[in-house]
Every structure is written in structure tokens, then in C-alpha cells.
Chains A and B, each alone.
Chain A
Amino acid sequence: MPFLPHTRAEEETMLKTIGVSSVDELFGDIPRELCLDRPLQLPLGLSEKEAWEEVERLAQKNKHTGQYLCFRGAGAYEHYQPKAVKHLLARSEFYTAYTPYQPEISQGTLQAIFEYQTSICELTGMGVANASHYDGATALAEAALMAVEATGRSKIAVSSLVHPEYRETLKTYLFRRGVEIIELPYQEGLTAVDELAGVLTNDVAAVIIQSPNFWGSIEDLAQFAELIHQQGGLLIACCDPLALGVLASPGELGADIAVGEGQSLGLPLSFGGPYLGFMACQEKYVRRLPGRIVGKTVDRLGREGFVLTLQAREQHIRREKAGSNICSNQSLCALAAAIYLALLGPQGLEEVGRQCWQKSHYAKELLAELPGVSLPFAAPFFQEFVVQTAEAPALINQRLWEAGILGGLDLGRYYPELENYLLLCVTEMRTKEEIEQLVEVWGGVSGGKTHF
């Protein structure tokens, strides 16, 4: 059997030492009537070669971004992953370790996470960051619970331009906690700030704004910070850390908690996971921040080192009084992000952001020239933007897909009132030629070159 070392002779010696005559005796404590009296109905067990071929067969049934041109984002972004990221993640001292409970033999993970926390604080303009959360959606949901606990209030206001799947996750998390969710309407591609007066009252724990929002537009976070702070509530900003190389940080704009999806920092698309939830907050809320946090300390000889700290917040100490139940997080994904940021540095990150900006704006301008295509919103955007079409989105996307292009997201799926609206994404990955190809196939000028 693969991975099992026992020889017959060893097994016999071991049984003898234990003082039993057979392995079955070791399972004698399981009541007879509960024992499974048949073999598990599972595959028979394959050699590595056969397993590889079977799994590869499944992989080959999927179309990957090496085979088509991706113009879709909506919460998962195709960016370039420098080769060194994958190579460093493949160090098995990192990936075969558990959570660093024994700091003396875990300084690698601990220091890398301390550095990751530093980079997240720098990007978000926050005082502290945790070691990671499951993903952007769950980080957002737990940030809302954090705000509820911090303020003792029981309402959360969330922009309708927060990622729809994040809002669904938020709902799932808050429902049984009796927290009321108020959805804020949109206007001109942005959260409608004018309609907040009667909504952001002094029983609202926090307002949640995503920027760039789900439609790609950049929100004026400062305005929301001011409004909610007047009422004694918190601003939770949900952002794309990659955009923070060019956009003002949530901290600068007055956010109290910053969360979001870190997949854009060097993590592959991977069909939606594993990704990286990041969570950061103003220092005064640190004892409510969920999850692992790495801190600096000294050893017995006074040398500096790192440990998991402020554990009195966590489930293994506080049990039912803990603010969160999180135990395992997405540590290796945080490591990937840290490595990505170290490779790019501030200039590289700014340049990626700038290219995303420029290329998406170039695409927008070309598309707007097509008959039947218009730009419904004037708000500044980062790498995603909405176009309105005369033709049905399904038809456009069908045409694109046949030419090897994944087009925009049909916003009608999440916003039934939006008929014929597409959300497009253009990252630094797309070349000028590819953007022009999108426009040509879209406009029906050419069939494009088929990638499949």
C-alpha cells in the first residue's frame, strides 16, 4: 500500500509489544453493530502513474487561461505570477508544516507572516493585520461581526455594490446572530451617498463599502467615513490590495477596518480557491481582530524572534467567548502574497496598477466606439468597467467564446434590473493586440483566431 512502511515482521513485533494478537483487536472497542460490514465502495486504488493520468484527464477537460483570453474578473483576477513565487512556495519546510505552535522551530513561517502583516498594514494604511482569513467574503463577514461587538450595535449597512457573493456570505454569517442588514442603493455606478441620511443612524455598527466596487468604480471612502463616524459607527472598506499601489489607502481615507481578497497578489485563479482573505484594522481594535497574529518578542538570551500572540482572543483559549472560531487560515497563500510583494516592490506594484488602469481604459475607449455599445457610468474605475449593449450579452459572449475569448460578466445575473450590462476586466496581462482582438470579434468585424 502506498505510503505505508510496515513490513509483516514489524507488524507482528508491534502487535506482540502491544499485547494483542491481531489488528482487529485494536478495533474491538467499536461496537459490532456499528462496524462497516463491507468494503468502502471507492476506486480500487491506483498507482501514482495511473492516478496522475486520471487526474490529468480531468484537467484536460477544462479550458484554461493559457487557451483563451480572459476579460473577466468579478472577484478573481488573472495577473502575472512571477516564477519565483511558485518555486519558493514549493519549499516543503513551508508547506508541510502545521500552524507554528512551536516557535523555536517555526521561525520561517512566523517571520514570513510578520513581514506579510507589515506589507498589508503598509498597503491598507492600517495599524495591524492578522495572519490571514479564508477569503475576501469570510473576512468581510467577520469584520462585520467585529464591528457589531465593538459598537454593541446590531445593524450593518452594506453597499449593493459589494461583491454579490460577499453579500450572500455576510447574510449567512449574520442571520443567526440577529444582526439586521441594510442594503445601500447605487447611483451612477457608485454607492448612493445622497440617500444615506436617514439610513446611517446611531444604531448602525458599520457601513461596508467596496472600492473599487463590484462594478470597478472607485468609491469616495472618505465621504462614507465621515458620515458613519458622525453616528459613532465604523467604516469597513473592502478592497483589492493590488489596486492600492495607485489608489489611496483605506486608512488614509478614514476606514476603521480594511478587508478584502488577496488573490490578486500572485495567487493563481484556481477555480476560486484557495485564495487569501486579508484583515487589517486600526490599532485600537486589535483585541477584537479574529485569527492568528504574529508578534515580535525575545528568547531567553534576549535575541529577537516571533511567536503567535494575543492568543487570549482565540478559540483555543476563550472557547465560546472567542470573537471567532477560526483556527486554520490560509497561511501559505499569505506567504505567496508576501513573496509577490517583495518581488515587485513599491515600483513594481505601482506599475502593475498603472498598466491595469491604462489597458482597461484603452479597452473601454475602443469598445465605446462600437455601434450599440455605450458607457453608462462616468465614475473613475481601476481595471473593471461596465458597458451597456444593444445586443444581448449572451450573444456577445457566445461570439467571443467561440473565438477563444472569455467576455464580461452579464450583470443581469446579480442585478435583474440591469438588462444588457456587461462587466469587463482588463489586467496587465492583456496586450494591445489582444484588446483589439476583443473589440473586433465583439463588433463582428472578424471571427478572431480561435484558440481552442
Chain B
Amino acid sequence: MVEKLIFEKSVSGRRGHYLPPLDVPACSVQEAIPAKLRRKKTPVLPQLTEVEVVRHYTRLSSLNYGVDTGFYPLGSCTMKYNPKINEDVANLAGFSQIHPDQPAESVQGALELMVKLQQYLAEIAGMDAFTLQPAAGAHGELTGLLLIRAYHAAQGEQQRDKVLIPDSAHGTNPATASLAGCQIIQIPSNGQGEVDLVALKRVVGKDTAALMLTNPNTLGLFETQIAEIAAIVHEAGGLLYYDGANMNAIMGYARPGDMGFDVVHFNLHKTFSTPHGGGGPGSGPVGVKRKLEPFLPKPVIIYDRQKQRYRFDGERPQSIGRVKAFYGNFGVLVKAFTYILMLGGKGLKEASEKAVLNANYLLKLLSQDYEQPFAGLCKHEFIVTPPKTKEGGIRTLDVAKRLLDYGFHPPTVYFPLIVAEALMIEPTETENKSTLDAFAAVMARIAQEAEENPEILHQAPHQTPLSRLDETQAARRPVLRWKAD
């Protein structure tokens, strides 16, 4: 451990925060709370002064690497720059200090923001209506599949419980399908890395609930046959679900709604810069075509033209119900709204343009030393694998760990599963050419090291506060909390 645990720094009797003295007549809690409901064992929590707490977390923060630290080409995660204004808008008292159960007339600004954000997202997606309730991408996926199932049930087609998922899909897709009570049928990819239409035709049918697809897919390739795919699934009576994790590639160029998708989710913490928070909070709004609108989670937020005010509408008899308490990760919505305001339609399109430009440029540079499993151009991200060496090859994990020594966050590794030793690289549009050049130079150097001195890779990282951590031991003998000796 680089930094002692906060519990180990604790000294009994210290305190970091004091309350105003009690100003109401005191009744003894000891007497008031019946003995069997009262806490007997004081919880072991840290005891420190404010400065000690502040130093502890400041020092911990210095052990982290964020987008503000440097290049973060983590594929599928869209680690673009997070504008500072985002933090400030979410902290405005008019947003951060409003109770979710205030009278609607006292939160008109919040509701207006949400309705406008719904409209903006619908325009970007080519959808008719949006819900902002889901808290993350995977939560959006669950919402979407429940919507699809409710739709089929309303058509008298309860039997539709198979979800078709390409073998290149993110793990949340199949996990979501299970959570929604569906069975999964995996569709193989063809030689071009796209959905294999023959295989798809073989499995669609009366039991098909939906096909879940990411487009561009997780290989960073646009599914060029998407119109045919949509036709095949629709003809069989199934619906199309769009995993919007990769929307950063095509904003303003193409819309899932126009491609034939019926339901989409976006990840506001990716495409819309909100940031990611070290693992959340995110936000995964879901958009639908008109025919699925009646099933959206309750309550929906609408503008009442007659009364000229925004309000909640809970009168939705066909709704799948709530997917969360209250209305979504509101603070995150405020950030995404602000981002869209600043970029506008033109700016979002240019963001996608530059994301794709950066990815293709970096791909070109890297393809001199790394293998490219699928030839040709890419969208906002791409896959490469480590070069063959005389030793027989280096592992992706070694490349990733060695990158740490050179001050870069590694790409996503070992995903998608259909490419062995995948390095999934997404530079995003906010990185400049010099950074991409520097990263490519380091990657070339690592390829060279792999040839000349592979041991330096196996042992990497060498420059980080800790060296490679033993994940096997962590799982074999789990230590998941601190305990006083």
C-alpha cells in the first residue's frame, strides 16, 4: 500500500466535523430508543481531523490517472475531455439543492431542462420519445428490453423471449437479456467483423424478441448491412435494440432511428462528456419509436401546452413501471444538457468527425507495427493486436502494462472476445495530433522492446507506485474489507 488505510491513521477521539449545539430540549435517546433497537456496538469509522481527511484523499487522488492527467484511449468508453463548466452547472443551488418531491411549479427549470434534453436526444437518435430514468448504459439496456417485452406482450406475443446478440457484443448485452428473463442466441460475426446474415436468418423467428446491436460495432466498424439486418428482424416480428456506447462515431452523420432501430440507449457519461466519475455516476437515457412510447417508465415528464407548464405524468397504464426511484441521475443530465448547448448540432457532428479522423490517423500509425485483424478504415475506435515476435508473440496485457511506464492509460484489453489479444483503442476527438504521434511512437517502441528485450514487458510496469498486482490471489483469498487486529 502506498498510502496507509484511513482506518490505520485513525486516532480515537479525533474528529473532522462538528455540529451546532442541540437547541431543542434534549430527550435521552438512550431512554427513548427501546434497548433492542438501539445500537450497542459503536461502528469502527475513521477518527481524524479535517486536514487529515483532506490530506488522505488528496494523496489518494494523486495515485489515480484521469482524463485530466493524460491520454486515455480506453476503447468503448469514450474518454473525451470533460468540460469544467459541467461540474459547475451541476453544483448550482437551483439544481443541487432541490428536493425530488417539491411542488412541480417550484422545479419548472429542472423539468424544462429534462424535457429539452429528451428532445435533443430524440433528434440525435432519430427517435420519437425518451426516458431519462436509467442510471447507466446497462440500466438503459434493461429498460429497453423490458419495453420490448411489454410491447410484444401487448401484441399478444408473450412467447417472444429470445434475444439475438452478436459474438462481438459487450458483456452487458447478454447479461441484460438474462435479467429481462430472456434466452440468448449468439450470432457469429463474418469475415469482415460484421453480423453474419446467413446465421441471423437461420435463427430469427416467432420467438425473437429483439436483436441487440452496437453500431459501429465493438470492432469499430460500421455494420454496412444494417438496413438488411433490420428488415430480417422486423419481418420476423422482432425489434432492434441499439446499444449507444459507440454513438460518438456518427452524431449528425447517421441516426439509429433511421437505420431501423426501435429502441436505443445513450451513455451520457461517454458521448456527452459528463464525466465517468471513476466508475459512475453515469446516465443511460432510452429512446423509442412511437409505438413503444406507451410502455416507457413512469412517470414521464411532459410539457402541458394548455397550462403552459412542465409536469410529471404518471397516468401510463401500459408503462413497464419505474426502473429507479425518482427521475434519473439528474445532476448528470444537467451536464449533458450543457454540453449539447455548447456544441450545438454542428459541434456534435464535428466532434464525431474528429473522433473518426483521430481514430483512423492513429490506426494508420499503429498498423506499421501492430496487426490489424480487420483491414480498412474504422470509425471512432479500432482493434489491433500485438506483433508476432521471435519469442512467439507478446501479450496484450504486457503492452498495456508497459504503456503505464510511458505515462499513458492503456486501451481496453481482451475485448471484444472474438479477437484474441485485442487492444481496443479509442482516442476521441479532444486529443491533438501531437498526443497521437507521441502515443504511436511509444507503441512502436514497445513493439521494438518486445523483440529486443521482452523481459522488460513481462515485468512492466516499472514506474508506477505499485508494480503488477496479483489478481489471482485477490480472488482466491478475498480480503474485501479492513478489520481491526
Contacts and interface: CB of A to CB of B under 8 A. Distances in A.
A401 interface: yes
B175 A118 contact: no
A111 B278 contact: no
B99 A34 contact: no
A246 B109 contact: no
B190 interface: no
Contacts of B454: none
Contact of B474 (A113, A173, A309, A326): A309
Contacts of B67: 92, 96-97
A307 B471 contact: yes
A33 interface: yes
Contacts of B110: 58, 61-62, 271
A273 B146 CA distance: 22
Contacts of B60: 107-109, 111-112
A92 B19 CA distance: 29
Interface in B346-366: 346-351, 353-354, 356-358, 360-361, 364-365
Contacts of A271: 95, 98-100, 107, 110, 326-327, 330-331
Interface string B383-419: 0000000000000000011001000011010010000
Nearest to B360: A18
Contacts of B109: 57-62
B481 A121 contact: yes
B139 interface: yes
B325 A261 contact: yes
A376 interface: no
A252 interface: yes
A150 interface: no
Given A166-B325, A346-B43, A295 B478 contact: yes
A113 to B, nearest CB: 8
Contacts of B361: 14, 17-18
A102 B123 CA distance: 36
Interface string B322-340: 1111111111101001101
Given A91-B61, A171-B321, A109 B278 contact: yes
Interface in A117-131: 117-119, 121-123, 125, 127-129, 131
A74 interface: yes
A252 B41 contact: yes
A348 B143 CA distance: 40
B175 A46 contact: no
A347 to B, nearest CB: 6
A104 B468 contact: yes
A102 B174 contact: no
Contacts of A355: 19, 22
A210 interface: no
B432 interface: yes
Nearest to A332: B277
B328 A272 contact: yes
A336 B325 CA distance: 20
A97 B278 CA distance: 4
Which applies to chain B's interface (DSSP): helix, strand, loop or mixed?
loop
A248 interface: yes
B24 A319 contact: no
Interface in B423-458: 429-433
Given A96-B275, A134-B324, A307-B469, A272 B138 contact: no
Residue with the highest number of chain B CB atoms closer than 10 Å, among A96, A172, A175: A96
> Counting chain A CB atoms within 10 Å of each CB, which of B79, B184, B321 scores highest?
B321
B222 A99 contact: no
B138 A315 contact: yes
A82 B94 contact: no
Q: For chain A, give the interface size range.
A: 35 or more
A104 B466 contact: yes
Contact of B106 (A62, A244, A347, A349): A62
A294 interface: yes
Contacts of B400: 102
A115 B430 CA distance: 34
Interface in B38-94: 38-48, 50, 53-54, 56-58, 60-69, 72, 74, 77, 79-83, 85, 87-94
A138 B324 contact: yes
A311 B476 CA distance: 11
A343 B100 contact: no
Interface centre among A135, A244, A317, A401 (most CB of B within 10 A): A135
Interface string A93-108: 1111111111111111
B92 A26 contact: no
Given A4-B429, A318-B175, A342-B48, A168 B321 contact: yes
B473 A297 contact: yes
Contact of A305 (B1, B66, B255, B329): B1
A346 B46 CA distance: 7
Interface string A6-26: 100011011101111001011
A7 to B, nearest CB: 8
Interface string A339-360: 1011111111111111101110
A310 B126 CA distance: 40
A244 B42 CA distance: 10
B198 interface: no
A235 interface: no
A70 interface: yes
Given A301-B467, A325-B141, 10 more contacts: A18-B364, A31-B227, A91-B58, A134-B139, A163-B325, A270-B330, A271-B331, A303-B466, A348-B17, A362-B24
10 contacts: A51-B338, A64-B98, A75-B326, A93-B62, A95-B66, A115-B6, A115-B482, A173-B179, A325-B175, A345-B10
Closest 8 CB pairs of A and B: A45-B344, A272-B326, A59-B94, A61-B109, A331-B279, A40-B345, A272-B100, A96-B66
